[in-house]
Every structure is written in C-alpha cells, then in structure tokens.
Structure 1
Amino acid sequence: MILDLYEAGEKFYMYTGRGPSSESLHLGHLIPFMFTKYLQDVFKVPLVIQLSDDEKFSWKKNLTIAECERLARENAKDIIACGFDVERTFIFSNLNYVGREFYKNTLEVAKHVTYNNLRATYGITLEDHIGKVSYPPVQAPPAFASSFPQLFRGNDQLRCLIICAVDQDTYSRTIRDVAPKIGFQKPSLIESRFFPALQGENTKMSASDPKSEIYVTDSSEQIKAKVNKYAFSGGQDSVELHRKLGANLDVDVPIKYLEFFLEDDDELDHIKKEYKEGRMLTGEVKRRLIEVLSELVARHQRARAQVTEEMVDAFMAVRPLPNMFG
C-alpha cells in the first residue's frame, strides 16, 4: 500500500529502533539499520529512530538509568556509522524525549491495550513489576506523525513505514490494531527474518552470549576464531562423505550469513552449488565468510571512529528537518 501511495505522489516517513542493552551492536542488530539506510537513500524520506532505554531499564535488573542513557548514546554512534543523513534523521532516547504530544499518544494507545493482551502478546505475568506493563504503549507513538510536532506539524496523517526484525512483530501488530481506534492511519510494516546465532538456524544472536554472535567491535582474528569454532556446518563428517553427499544448505550457518552479506549474487549461487554438490568443503566456505565479515566489520569500525559526541548531539537534537523530503 505505501509503495502504491508513494508512486501516486504521497509522502511517508520511516520508523525503526534499538533497545540499547549492550556496549555495541552485533551483526544481527545491524541488518535492519543497513536496510533502513538503503531505503532512506532510495526514497529520500525522513526517519525517526527510537532508542528504548526506558525498556531496558525495566527489563534488565543490572542496569541503572544512567547506564541505560550511556548505552543509548553508544548505540547511536553505531547507528550513525551506518551512514544515515542527518538532514533526514531524528534519533531520540525515550528517557530524554517522551512527553507532550508523544506522551498523549502513549496514553491513547494504553487505553486500547488490555492487560490480557499484554499477557498473551508480551508474556507479562502477575509477578512482573508494573514497569514492564507500562512500556509497550511507548513503542507505538513513533508510528504516528503527531508525536513529532517539530517534524510533521499539521500533517498528523502522514503515513509511516516500520522497519524491524521479526521479533518485533507483536509490537507492530498491536500498533496496526490500535491506530484506527485513535484516529490514525495504520503504519505499513516490513520485517527482516532472524539473523541466526553461530550455533544454528533455529537460534538468534543474543547479546548475553558472546559465543553466539559477532560484534561490530570484533577484530578480524576474533571473527576468524568464532566462525571456525562455532559456526554450525551443514557439511558431512568426513571429506569422503562430503564429496559423495554434499552439504545441507538448509542448516549451514556460513551459507546463511553469506546470503545476508555477500554482495555478488552470482558468486553466492556458485558457492551454494559447489558446496551442495560436495565440490567445495566447509573450510572453504568459512574462509570466504571470514573475508566478507572482516571487510564489513572493518568498514563499520572506520566509520564508527569518525562519529563524535557532537554528531550524536546533532542527530538527537529536537529540531525541524527542512530538507527531509528534498
């Protein structure tokens, strides 16, 4: 729907976010931001990025409010390093922005989400503290243009495209359900599938398990060690058996990672064909993956090193964006 409207000349804006619970991002966190950056380049539209530091304070027992605020700024640096346009991008932390029109929309949403819905959708129990109950409505207002009067004043019905990973689907569906009840357009939604943990396709990267993930702060030596030691292989137990039977691509993690990050589709198809038919070994596939990830992470680290505190302040300043549709 939003693409049809765009072709007809209607404008829209984008919304994505990050829950800052660790010092830096891992590759799974990076995927939605890389895709969002691509969409911003293609459509030349404004973007709001929510840093849900209040959520992490409620859900993580070991984090103070001050630490959540610090992690939000550190994560903002990784996000900015993806290459977003400061003239079209507003990054905000809930602890520092929520209020006024944003909070009014939060209350409107909260009035239409029952406790039974929270229990069914988010796994809230009677033993949970009320901070966990109060957070879900805060994730909805960024999908409503009136939450950002400095950006969209007088255009409360501007449509929104939410970009997120599939684990945020419950939040997004709640937003789409509530929106017409409080007088707003339903946001459109596009989701990325899970980026699997190194241990296997049916897992996801977790910031609490350093062996499951590759951080954007990892060195090439760390990436090599993690891929070689932990990346689950679909290859056979012996070279002879592998040459005979080939690899199971459905469970092979190096292949899954290459599907995300290898730019050359022809090369990817060649690797998959040779590996599946046993002519390419697991070690060769992992070697190519290590090259791809090392280059990606090194490029991100160079960009991250250029992000200053002043740049973070510029992206997070509450301001109009006069050229956001330019």
Structure 2
Amino acid sequence: MSGEVANNVQDLSIQENHIKKSIHKEDDDHVDPWNVVSKSDTGVDYDKLILKFGSSKIDDELLARFEKVTGKPVHHLLRRGFFFSHRDMHSILTRYEQGKPFYLYTGRGPSSSSMHLGHLIPFTLCKWLQDVFNCPLVIQLTDDEKTLWKELTVEEAYKMGLENAKDIIACGFDVNKTFIFSDFTYIGQRPEFYRNMIRIQKCVTFNQVKGIFGFDDSTVIGKIAFPAVQATPALSTSFPDTFGTKKIPCLIPCAIDQDPYFRMTRDVCPRLGFDKPALLHSKFFPALQGAKTKMSASEANSTIFMSDTPKQLKNKINKHAFSGGQTTVEEHRELGGNCDLDISFQYLRFFLEDDEKLEEIRRNYTSGQLLTGELKKILIDILTPVLTSHQEIRSKITEETLQTFMTPRKLC
C-alpha cells in the first residue's frame, strides 16, 4: 500500500470514529446528512464540528488569498463566516493562479415542490463562484436519495426534482456554464457515470459505510449503495459530454452535514487516479423556531418557502420566528435583546449585505432601542422582495429553458 493511500485509509478511519462518537454522545450536537439537532439555543457548535470532521477553518489568511487571487472582494457569506470550513481550498486557488481548469459541483435533494430560504445559501455562493472563477458547474438532483429516505414514490421525487431545478435556474446561473441532471434519468443515459459509480463501490466496504453513515443490518440496500451515487459527480469523466476523458478536479460548496459523503469520496479518488475534491462547508440555516435545528421542507411552520406569498411570509415571521427579546416592552427597553438567539436577526445576517446597517440593527436591538416587532418588520421588508423577485424570474422559466439546462453538453 502506498504512503498516500495508507494515509487516506487512516484519515477515513479516524473520521469514522468521530462520526460514531457524534452519533452516540447524548450531550453533543447530532449532525448527519439527514438530521441536525443541537442542544444549544444558539445552534450547532461549528468549532467542534471542524475537530470532529477533520476539516480546516476558513481563516483571514484564506479570505485574503481569495481576494488577492480573484481580484474581487469575498462574498458576504464567506466574510461573515456562514461558509466556515474547507478542505483543500488553497489547492483550487493555486490551480486558478496557474490557469488550470476545475469545475464546481453541488446538489439538491428534492423533498418538496418548492425550495426554501435555506436552500438558497449554497446556490447563492455557487453563483458567485461561477462568476468569479468563470468555471462550469454541475448540479445533481438526488431524486433517488429522497425516494429512499422519504415516503415518496419514484414519480413524486422525480417531479419535485424538476420543480426544484426551476428554483435553481431562477438563482441566475449561466446556461452556457451550468448542467443540471436528475439521477433517475442521467445515470441511465451515460454509461460512463455508471461505470465510475461501480468503481467507487468497489473501493468502499460495508463496514466503512456503516461507520461513516450509521447504517445497520436493517438498512435497505438502496441506502447502503447511495453514497457512491453522490460521490460519482466528483469524477469529471462521469460527464463525457462536458469534460470528455479529462481528469479535472472539482470544488464542492455544500452544507457541513454533507461532508461524510465527500470524506468517503476523498478517500476513494486517489485510488482511482483522480484528485481529491475540494470543499467549502456552510453553516445550517436555522428553523423559524430557533437554531436547535435547521430549516426543513417537511416542517411547513419552520420554513419559509420560495413560493410563499408576502402574506404567508409575514404571518410565519410574526407568529413563529423565535425572539431574543424580553417578555415585556419595559424589560426589553431596560435589558435589550439577544441577537445570538433571535432568528429574525440571524436571517438578516444571511440576507442583509450592508454591514453598517446590520451593525446598527444589532446595536439598537441589543440596547433595547429596537423592539422585537420592529426587528421582525425589518426582516419582512428585506425578504419580501427576495421572494417576489425569485417568483417573477421563476415564472418565466419555460420547459424549453429547463430542458436546455438538463441536456448533457459541453460547457463554456
């Protein structure tokens, strides 16, 4: 066994043990690709996650290099730490400096006909990365995964995937640089994808996927086999129409709960002659009820859907958004609010790009000058045009446009 492969196997074994500990330790956050639960009102301890998963913190040095290499100011999602962790991002920046190609890869697991606000986060950064690096992007719709994990038929998941693809297109991706594909259709169309999937499956044992994902003897075989499906787009030859036979590395922006898939992928890639994929990890977008769990499409009252009307948006925020304020106006004026707990303020950190305005709101709410109802109104005023603009763009996406994005082809 070569030194590199030995190190990869050792790293994967260490990471498996971290996952087992995080799953079974009752007083710890629970984070896996399907469930996120924190014991703390302020949400997941991301510094602990970095240690458990063995990733690297996105620090000032990396952000400074981002700006130096690209000549662009970093996106506020990076600047404010919403993308907080990475794997091998420096190697991607080095490739860009050297004029060597790479591509972006991300995905969406469709479990409802509309995406929600939290789903915008990775796609917003992907759009920015595509523009800054002028590189191609492949987006995997894991409709097969949702059929296996949710009470959905194959037909329902496939249809939801197509609807989600329209939401993704409405984020403004360049059709000449973006390929969106459904697992249910693409895998059967391109034998190269299926062959790579089998190559990956041959490299991973049942014991490894049990350790990484917490599978047991009662897990259906489709779930056990699925991690290889999500790993396969990290091999560029899985897209012969786009990349031909060239072995090109990729950068994967995703939420940190998807990292187990790509730790496995990074172990396998060198054994198949490919570079390890680089990753950028985002924090979770909290549910309306608080940061103990992430926003989920299966919990309507915890979620703001991209299809919600202005009235629905207003009602959800006013009725369900967890407040960091005091119980009475008098107490709030005296003691102030807690921005670390207040969901309206946390959402503003994602969607209000003006740093000075955000700091003014934080200062006024913390001092008690700004009341919870007033803070919620600010959020409603910020989010309403986000939703209405998205809906307007989405309404103009034709079936022909959708088909163009989902047709295998060479990208610019």
> TM-score band (shorter)?
over 0.9
Deviation string 1:47-91 (CA, Å, 9 cap, x unpaired) is: 000001111111223x22122221111111111111111100111
Tell me the residue number matched to 2:141. 51
Shift of 1:192: 1.1
Shift of 1:44: 0.9
Tell me the residue number matched to 2:225. 134
1:100 corresponds to 2:161: no
Deviation string 1:105-153 (CA, Å, 9 cap, x unpaired) is: 1111112222122222222221121111111100011111111111111
SS at structure 2 position matched to 1:218: coil
How many corresponding residue pairs?
320
Q: Distance in 2 between matches of 1:103 and 1:200?
A: 41
Q: In 1, are the aligned partners of 2:256 and 2:283 still within 8 Å (CA)? A: yes
1:7 corresponds, among 97, 109, 114, to 97
Q: Distance in 2 between matches of 1:172 and 1:230?
A: 35
1:197 corresponds to 2:197: no
Shift of 1:14: 0.2
Tell me the residue number matched to 2:383. 293
1:38 corresponds, among 123, 128, 134, to 128
Q: In 1, are the aligned partners of 2:234 and 2:250 still within 8 Å (CA)? A: yes
Shift of 1:314: 0.4
Aligned residues with identical type, % of pairs: 54
Q: Distance in 2 between matches of 1:107 and 1:307?
A: 36
Shift of 1:265: 1.3
Q: Mean alpha-carbon deviation: is it higher for 79-88 or for 112-121? A: 112-121
SS at structure 2 position matched to 1:107: helix
Equivalences for 1:202-281 in 2 at 5 Å?
Answer: 202-281=292-371
Tell me the residue number matched to 2:74. none
Tell me the residue number matched to 1:29. 119
Q: In 1, are the aligned partners of 2:123 and 2:168 still within 8 Å (CA)? A: yes
Amino acid at match of 1:89: T
Tell me the residue number matched to 1:76. 165
Q: In 1, are the aligned partners of 2:111 and 2:298 still within 8 Å (CA)? A: no
- With normalisation by structure 2, the TM-score equals 0.76
SS at structure 1 position matched to 2:294: coil
Tell me the residue number matched to 2:246. 155
SS at structure 2 position matched to 1:45: coil
Deviation string 1:5-59 (CA, Å, 9 cap, x unpaired) is: 2112112100000011111101111111111111111111000000011111112
Amino acid at match of 1:208: S
1:125 corresponds to 2:216: yes
Q: In 1, are the aligned partners of 2:109 and 2:143 still within 8 Å (CA)? A: yes
Q: Distance in 1 between matches of 2:309 and 2:215?
A: 39
1:144 corresponds, among 220, 230, 235, to 235
Shift of 1:154: 3.6
1:314 corresponds to 2:314: no
Shift of 1:193: 0.4
Tell me the residue number matched to 2:78. none
Q: Distance in 2 between matches of 1:197 and 1:102?
A: 36
Runs of 4 or more off by more than 3 Å in structure 1? Answer: none
Q: Distance in 2 between matches of 1:167 and 1:294?
A: 29
Deviation string 1:294-322 (CA, Å, 9 cap, x unpaired) is: 1100010001001111111000111222x
Tell me the residue number matched to 2:79. none
Q: Distance in 2 between matches of 1:6 and 1:30?
A: 26
Q: Distance in 1 between matches of 2:170 and 2:101?
A: 26
1:112 corresponds, among 203, 206, 211, to 203
Q: Mean alpha-carbon deviation: is it higher for 174-183 or for 39-48? A: 174-183
The answer for unaligned runs of 5 or more in structure 2 is 1-90
1:88 corresponds, among 164, 167, 177, to 177
Amino acid at match of 1:174: M
Deviation string 1:256-294 (CA, Å, 9 cap, x unpaired) is: 100000121110011001111111111111100001111
Q: In 1, are the aligned partners of 2:166 and 2:402 still within 8 Å (CA)? A: yes
Shift of 1:165: 1.1
Q: Distance in 2 between matches of 1:285 and 1:238?
A: 15
Shift of 1:4: 2.0
Instruction: Note the aligned Cα RMSD (angstroms).
Output: 1.1
Amino acid at match of 2:155: A
Q: Distance in 1 between matches of 2:208 and 2:295?
A: 27
Q: Distance in 1 between matches of 2:329 and 2:208?
A: 53
SS at structure 2 position matched to 1:189: strand
Q: Distance in 1 between matches of 2:303 and 2:213?
A: 25
- With normalisation by structure 1, the TM-score equals 0.96
Amino acid at match of 2:285: F
SS at structure 1 position matched to 2:96: helix
Amino acid at match of 2:359: D
Q: In 1, are the aligned partners of 2:252 and 2:280 still within 8 Å (CA)? A: yes
The answer for unaligned runs of 5 or more in structure 1 is none
Amino acid at match of 2:380: I
Q: Distance in 2 between matches of 1:285 and 1:120?
A: 44
Deviation string 1:233-263 (CA, Å, 9 cap, x unpaired) is: 1111111211222111111111110000012
